[in-house]
Chain A
């Protein structure tokens, strides 16, 4: 009887602690900010500083924010699923420190970005899209068989970039 009562208290305390820690994490990680599409959210974590800085000095700054290119835009549900999956993977990588100085897109992300390139530049690339159907695809993962940025290498993050430095990067001062 004594032990049983004690364990009940312990379990209540444990649940309370979990709720408290979760609340603490929501606050510390600015979790709610991830619901917005403000590019500054992406530099909650300094790993993205150079990507933010290069985007900020690019022509895309006026037209497209991070999520416009990096998340699917076909449906709200797909967007949220992708956001959650990316968020989980990013938290895991940050916690375990399992990333190097150069971040590269996954095939899944490449496909999303390519789709978004095409969706904005539809008029410019419609004929290329039609022509690409006639040829063998180099990269089956992306539309048109070749990634837009294989040629347009400067868009929008520049060619010289890693986690420690980038063009025009004197540090992100907006925070």
Chain B
């Protein structure tokens, strides 16, 4: 055989496996690409069921928050609260929180948000939506922060129709955790101990929660709109500049003469704590050990070979075996008993503080009625302001008694002290006006307490019912027309309120 023929045969023989290998590499690359592909979800897609198509386990567990549907009227259980919050929305209606599935619904249904008739009517401002819906980051992205925070709550009805969901914590590009509310970044940088740029993945597993589970206030911010009109935006702001301890935040508010509302009975310039969960968590043992919110509230689940994060966010006590017992030895019963004890200790001091502060408000009202002067009242009112702030700070975060028991009891102790200081001062004023033996009226039920503060409960309920059957329905229709409303987010939801509906 000729050399050239031989060479050709050898070449062809070598070519066959080489080409096969080439084909296999091409196939492998295509498979690799398919595996690594991030699902194509539009930026800030508010409909969680769209994300759920690609992450069924996470979505299904998130929808499990629907199971927490019980309405518990907190005012009924603690009528002192009605006195403490006289003149403020919380004296109208306050229920224990339900699952994330219900947050938008409860925001619309509570008597606190009133019964607006059109986009311009009140009583609440737009930032009250901020933590209720995955439509918020979308709307902020569209309108800009200042525009979003301007106007009345009802202005964004029809745009905000889905509860908190996937888009609030995850980036559509990478599925990584992301902050969708810039005020938290600003607060972290202002506070300084953990600037946002230095946040690790483990930090993010708490920070996405801290976007909403933290203390905030609405900071009036002037801006000029497209038409050249001066507007005032109520920008959600965290009061962390001096630190996150109760007294640090109290100082922050005092320095700015900030007032959430003026008390209807005692005329005290009041502060309302929201839910400083993040602030208290980081001072407690678990926070100091570097745990994140997700470690206990979103434990890993194993299903066959797949491990994922449980998105049915709720109390870790519902799942002690898969939360506490991951790190601790001991039995479920022991854990329940320990935690019940912590709660009872907090409740004892909280009840004492509420009783003292409620009486202080009523005694202050009596002093005013008898003709006490502003100058006489000021020191006592300052004590009431500080006392109630501290009490509120310790109990407004529902898990504070567990997250940071010592700190919570310490702050409650100082609230009781401030309240008693106020009452001593008030007793001296009352004595001066010959009312040294004044006894505060009976506020032992929600009805009695609401009567004392002159709350037109039946009227509020009637107006609210009209809103629920009117404008609220309208909003979901508008949302559906805009193609942003996810009907799955309300599937099987019943109207539940603590007032007759």
Contacts and interface: CB of A to CB of B under 8 A. Distances in A.
B305 A94 contact: no
B35 interface: yes
Contacts of B36: 46, 171-173, 175
Contact of A168 (B4, B35, B307): B307
B22 A28 contact: yes
Nearest to B14: A18
Contacts of B175: 170
Interface in B1-42: 2-5, 7-8, 11-12, 14-15, 17-26, 28-29, 31-32, 35-36
B306 interface: yes
Contact of A7 (B4, B17, B23, B307): B4
A21 B356 CA distance: 88
Contact of A46 (B12, B18, B31): B31
Contacts of B29: 28
Given A11-B4, A11-B8, A18 B18 contact: yes
A161 B306 CA distance: 9
A155 to B, nearest CB: 17
The SS class assigned to the A binding surface is: helix
B2 A7 contact: yes
Given A7-B2, A173-B174, A162 B11 contact: no
Nearest to B302: A160
A21 B8 contact: no
A167 B269 CA distance: 53
A46 B7 contact: no
A15 B12 CA distance: 9
Contacts of A17: 11, 15
Nearest to A14: B11
Given A8-B4, A11-B4, A11-B8, A25 B21 contact: yes
Interface string A134-175: 000000000000000000000000001110111110111101
Given A17-B15, A25-B21, A162 B305 contact: yes
A46 B28 CA distance: 7
Given A7-B8, A94-B24, A175-B32, A21 B15 contact: yes
Contacts of A18: 11, 14-15, 18
Given A7-B8, A25-B18, A173-B174, A46 B305 contact: no
Contact of A25 (B12, B25, B35): B25
Given A14-B8, A45-B28, A49-B35, A167 B307 contact: yes
A10 B4 contact: yes
A8 B29 CA distance: 37
A29 to B, nearest CB: 5
A47 B20 CA distance: 18
Contacts of B302: 160
Given A49-B35, A160-B307, A171-B36, A15 B7 contact: yes
Nearest to A10: B8
B439 to A, nearest CB: 63
B21 A95 contact: yes
A14 B5 contact: no
Nearest to A47: B28
Contact of B305 (A10, A14, A95, A165): A165
Contacts of A29: 21, 25
Q: Which of A95, A161, A164, A168 has the most CB of B within 10 A?
A: A95
B5 A7 contact: yes
A14 B7 contact: yes
Contacts of A4: 2, 4
Contacts of A168: 307
A33 interface: no
A15 B306 contact: no
A11 B7 contact: yes
Nearest to A24: B22
Q: Which of A14, A29, A168 has the most CB of B within 10 A?
A: A14
A173 B11 CA distance: 40
A80 interface: no
B37 to A, nearest CB: 8
B306 to A, nearest CB: 5
Interface in B63-90: none
Given A18-B11, A18-B15, A46-B35, A28 B26 contact: yes
A15 B174 CA distance: 46
Contacts of B21: 25, 29, 91, 95
B26 A11 contact: no
Q: Which of B5, B24, B305, B306 has the most CB of A within 10 A?
A: B305
Contacts of A167: 307
A22 B18 contact: yes
B32 A95 contact: no
Contacts of B28: 45-47, 94
Given A21-B19, A167-B307, A28 B11 contact: no
A45 to B, nearest CB: 6
A128 B8 CA distance: 60
A80 B307 CA distance: 37
A165 B306 contact: yes
Contact of B22 (A7, A25, A173): A25
Nearest to B307: A167
Interface of B: 2-5, 7-8, 11-12, 14-15, 17-26, 28-29, 31-32, 35-36, 174-175, 302, 305-307
22 contacts: A7-B2, A7-B5, A7-B8, A11-B5, A15-B11, A18-B15, A22-B18, A24-B22, A25-B22, A28-B22, A28-B29, A45-B32, A46-B32, A47-B28, A94-B24, A94-B28, A97-B24, A160-B307, A162-B305, A164-B305, A165-B305, A171-B36
Interface of A: 4, 7-8, 10-11, 14-15, 17-18, 21-22, 24-25, 28-29, 45-47, 49, 91, 94-95, 97, 160-162, 164-168, 170-173, 175
Given A29-B25, A95-B21, A160-B305, 6 more contacts: A10-B8, A21-B15, A21-B18, A25-B25, A45-B32, A46-B28
